[in-house]
Amino acid sequence: MKVVIPAAGLGTRFLPATKSMPKEMLPVLNRPVIQYVVEEAIAGGADDITIVTGRGKRAVEDHFDHNPDLGGSGTRASLRELEEVMGKAAFHFVRQRTPRGLADAIACAEHHVGNEPFGVLLGDSIHVSETPLLTQLRTTFERMGGKASVVALERVPRDKLSSYGVAGGTPVDLQVIRVERLVEKPKPADAPGDTALTGAYYLTPAIFGAIRATPPDRKGEVQLTDALARLVATEGVYGLIFEGRRYDTGTPLLWLEANVRFALRDPAYRDRVIEIFRESTRAESATRPSEAPAP
Ligand code: G1P
């Protein structure tokens, strides 16, 4: 399966850390976010990965290449996992010349993708699930007749919906909805439902025509959500409330949360992290003025 990973965004929600470093290279424990995304793609059947980069993103390309200064391949145990990942798919890199939005970034891969359905995983979001997310999306695509794109959804509290693309529609079953409306970052009153796009998609090649037909928004960006909204009226679009959990790493707090949660699941970090929390809570309550009522 071909998979496109857009990694061209500017990371403005994480400045100054992302001024000269790609947000996709921020580490969660010892691996950059994009490595998790690539691993997730491969687990879901990707054998051909196109990463869309842009200005200042060379570190992303270098990460999936050999570094002779660190010795030949296979010489360092700490690089073995990454080298295995690199051997499991063909990697391609294309550059988006100007940051004109997510849909425009995906269109940069059109020539490579050709005329077949393909997966898209955003380079700054990690999905963790028992069945790989792309497998879940592709299975749903086939179950729904193999003609309409499928987007991954999760339910989000109403006051958070304005940070996402939001889908509304009619339930097909407990997990799948037939999408009727899609709105990118709606005001709470305009949200068409309570399910948000999490940044994983299984798209038909018709998306490329839809992207060309989609005008840029007020910020000059062509939104994938707007292009998908065009497909709703033609081929149709399905939404899958996926099994699993998603970690956005695009802001300092969300990135920190991802690190804490991954550390708590990993025996190499878990005990020490819990100890640090205990120590800090004890130190904090010791310095807090007594809350006991005066006698
Ligand atoms: C992008 C998409 C949005 C989606 C979100 C998921 O927004 O445009 O529809 O809900 O990713 O993370 P961004 O976070 O890049 O602003």
Answer whether residue 31 is part of any domain: yes
Check residue 293 and give its pLDDT: 58
Residue range(s) defining the domain that contains residue 59: 2-250
Helix (H, G, I), strand (E, B), or coil: what is residue 249? coil
Tally of domains within the chain:
1
Check residue 74 and give its pLDDT: 74
Answer whether residue 256 is part of any domain: no
Answer whether residue 275 is part of any domain: no
CB-based contacts of 18, cutoff 8 Å, min separation 6: 10, 11, 12, 26
Q: Which of 14, 163, 195, 197 to mutate to test the pocket of ligand 1 (most atoms within 8 A of CB)?
A: 197
225 pocket-lining for ligand 1 (C-beta < 6 Å): yes
Answer whether residue 184 is part of any domain: yes
Answer whether residue 281 is part of any domain: no
CB-based contacts of 114, cutoff 8 Å, min separation 6: 2, 205
Answer whether residue 277 is part of any domain: no
- According to DSSP, residue 247 is labeled E
List residues bridging with 42 in a β-sheet.
Answer: none
125 pocket-lining for ligand 1 (C-beta < 6 Å): yes
Check residue 288 and give its pLDDT: 72
- According to DSSP, residue 96 is labeled -
Answer whether residue 217 is part of any domain: yes
Distance CA 202, CA 140 (A): 9
The closest-lying atom of ligand 1 relative to the alpha carbon of residue 248 is: 12
What CATH number is attached to the domain comprising 197? 3.90.550.10
- According to DSSP, residue 70 is labeled G
Answer whether residue 166 is part of any domain: yes
199 pocket-lining for ligand 1 (C-beta < 6 Å): yes
* Cα-to-centroid distance, 107 and ligand 1 (Å): 16
Torsion sign, CA atoms 263, 265, 267, 272: positive
What number of CA atoms fall less than 13 Å from residue 274's CA on the CB side?
7
Check residue 128 and give its pLDDT: 96
Each residue's pLDDT, cut to its tens digit, for the chain (295 residues) gives 999 999 998 889 999 999 999 999 999 999 999 999 999 999 999 999 999 999 999 999 999 998 878 877 777 788 888 999 999 999 999 999 998 999 999 999 999 999 999 999 999 999 999 999 999 999 999 999 999 999 999 999 999 999 999 999 999 999 999 999 999 999 988 999 999 999 999 999 999 999 999 999 999 999 999 999 999 999 999 999 999 999 999 999 999 999 999 999 999 999 999 999 999 988 888 877 665 555 5
Using DSSP bridges, classify how beta strands 149-155 and 237-241 pair: parallel, antiparallel or unpaired.
parallel
